[in-house]
Amino acid sequence: MPNIPHEDILDSLVAAVLRLDGEDRVGYLNPAAASLLETSPKHARGKTLRELLPVDETLVAYVARARNGGEPLALAELELVCGIPPGKRRRASCDILPLDAGGMQIEFQLLERRQLTSDSGLAQNHQAQRLLFQALAHEVKNPLSGLRGAAQLLAADIADPAQREYLDIMLRETDRLRDLVDDLLGPARAPRFVALNIHEVLEHVRALLASTERINWQRDYDPSLPELRGDPDQLTQVFLNLAGNAIEAMNGKGILQLRTRIERQIVAAGSRHRTGIRIDIEDNGPGVPGHLRESLFLPLVTGRAEGTGLGLAIAEDIVRRHAGVIDWKSEPGRTVFSVLLPVNNENGQGHE
């Protein structure tokens, strides 16, 4: 048999490690495994693998195969249904190693999360379209400035109130188009990274939105979350956009939940991070319309006649600059937008 690491060593690993005895009962799991499976060591010990993952027969079958054959097994991809009650699905690679006395060791590594869409080619196409919108916005902005300047010069020489009214309309519409172009271009500056508590950002967003709508705000915060490095103003904009969209989807009346959790082994912006924070914005509205699902994060895509379709595109751009990712899932009665931000953003620079 190979040398098996002592449990003190396993406790420090970022990989999720689970050990079973000869009767498939959990004898040990490290903190990363407890987090992945949404359980606690005290609750999990003594349970069978089938009790721990009650709707997942695939892993049980592979463990039996590895035990009977006496040889390790490596699974490139496995979908785990985690939580009590089961519900959260996570994709992971899995290594199964036979131990002495019929015991088994299982090691999980989370696979990269779906970023905006499960199809990477479609995600790249979305990014190319965003760049096109931004290039177009640059071209529009200069003539707009010229038009506004000319209208101001004319206004200085015209005394007729009727004619001045037309010029005022020109100025207002020029300003409106300028603001739209600025939104298309995204944040005007790079993030200014400081250490921050994400709950302070969320509470500020709640305070900004809570007084104007008939919303039942629910908070499910993990008080043990570490600080992360980010730009408070820009992250406030992200959650204002996401929460504002949720409120509009519910027509200003419903349940809006803010939830935070720690995440292990996240992959975002092409880099793996040992620890991250997940912020969920969940509403009980009608869900994302089917015809918008593939283009949801593109600029100018909206399901509301009065909307600009820029909120999600701006939020995604800011999160990307923070080396993070936005994920989402939606069905009638439950829509969740999740922002994952790395805690160990060592350079504090994000991604431009």
Higher pLDDT, 289 or 119: 289
Pairing of strands 104-110, 16-20: antiparallel
Q: What was the pLDDT predicted at 119?
A: 42
Most confident of 135-139, 235-239, 264-268: 235-239
Whether the per-residue pLDDT at 203 is higher than 70: the answer is yes
- Banded pLDDT at 59 (limits 50, 70, 90): confident
Of 276 and 139, the one with more pLDDT: 276
Give the CB-side neighbour count of residue 220, counting CA atoms within 13 A: 12
d(C-alpha 129, C-alpha 235), whole Å:
23
Token pair for 66: 């590895």
pLDDT (tens digit, 9 = 90+) per residue, 20-56?
A: 998 889 999 888 888 888 888 888 888 888 888 765 6
For 279-326, write each residue's pLDDT tens digit: 999 999 988 876 666 656 665 444 444 444 567 878 888 888 898 888
- Does residue 58 carry a pLDDT above 50? yes
* CA nearest to 344, candidates 269, 237, 257, 246: 269
Which residues are CB-contacts of 297 (< 8 A; sequence separation ≥ 6)?
116, 126, 312, 313, 316, 326
Residue 125: pLDDT band by 50, 70, 90 thresholds?
low
